[in-house]
């Protein structure tokens, strides 16, 4: 038996639509929305803004903080939706250790499309030059438990509705009848 899934992480490379889809899922499910990028320390933002990819050490404290935010948001049974690239299996494992039963929605996107999307985003600290580093770090979660893989080129409404339906379906997996 799995614990009830009180939170989802909407994950993927830059430009896959994490924020838009995460906000839409949170609205559909009456969940707390947590924008992972808002918790990057200034040094990480400066590094990315300069076109320098983050490494495991840069992400370590950020992932701890996101785990804390998830736990705080789900106290008392409230649901939460976090956006976080969560590119490596180790990062997802760390987040899962922070909150048992954590679900992941992986927004899968081709490199070329991600580059086009990031290049067209105004006022974001992540430059398109970092797309290659995102794909180099990516360890897709195709066979990980409690993970839904979606085509990030689909409309936000469709993605959020599919994620909502999947999340609801996991309640029957998490709790026996």
Query: The domain that contains 12 carries what CATH number?
Result: 3.40.50.300
Under 8 Å between Cβ of 80 and 167: no
Q: Look at residue 56 and tell me whether its pLDDT is greater than 60.
A: yes
Number of structural domains, the chain?
1
User: What mean pLDDT comes out for the span 138-146?
Assistant: 94
* 1 occurs within a structural domain: no
* 165 occurs within a structural domain: yes
User: Who has greater pLDDT, 146 or 175?
Assistant: 146
User: Who has greater pLDDT, 177 or 15?
Assistant: 15
Give one word for 33, left, alpha or beta, with left for phi > 0 and alpha for psi -120 to 50. beta
Strand partners, 33: 81
> Out of 70-79, 91-100, 109-118, which region has the weakest mean confidence (pLDDT)?
109-118
User: Who has greater pLDDT, 97 or 46?
Assistant: 97
* 2 occurs within a structural domain: no
Q: Look at residue 177 and tell me whether its pLDDT is greater than 50.
A: no
Please give the C-alpha separations between residue 100 and each of 89, 97, 152, in angstroms, as whole numbers. Answer: 16, 6, 26
Question: In this predicted structure, what is the pLDDT of residue 46?
Answer: 86
The range of the structural domain enclosing residue 149 comes to 7-174
- Identify the band that residue 50 occupies on the pLDDT scale cut at 50, 70 and 90: confident
- Identify the band that residue 59 occupies on the pLDDT scale cut at 50, 70 and 90: confident
**Closest Cα to residue 163, out of 14, 2, 5?**
5
């Amino acid at each position: 038996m799995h614990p009830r899934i009180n939170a989802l992480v909407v994950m993927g490379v830059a430009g896959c639509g994490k924020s838009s889809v995460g906000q839409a899922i949170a609205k559909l499910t009456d969940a707390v929305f947590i924008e992972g990028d808002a918790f990057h320390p200034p040094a990480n933002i400066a590094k990315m803004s300069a076109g320098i990819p983050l490494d495991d050490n840069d992400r370590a404290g950020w992932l701890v903080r996101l785990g804390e935010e998830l736990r705080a948001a789900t106290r008392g049974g409230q649901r939460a939706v976090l956006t976080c690239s969560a590119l490596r299996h180790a990062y997802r494992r760390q987040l899962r250790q922070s909150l048992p039963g954590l679900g992941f929605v992986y927004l899968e996107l081709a490199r070329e499309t991600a580059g086009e999307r990031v290049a067209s985003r105004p006022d974001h600290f992540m430059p398109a030059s970092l797309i290659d580093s995102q794909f180099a770090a990516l360890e897709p979660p195709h066979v990980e438990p409690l993970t839904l893989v979606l085509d990030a080129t689909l409309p936000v409404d469709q993605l959020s509705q599919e994620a909502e339906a999947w999340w609801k379906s996991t309640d029957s997996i998490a709790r026996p009848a």
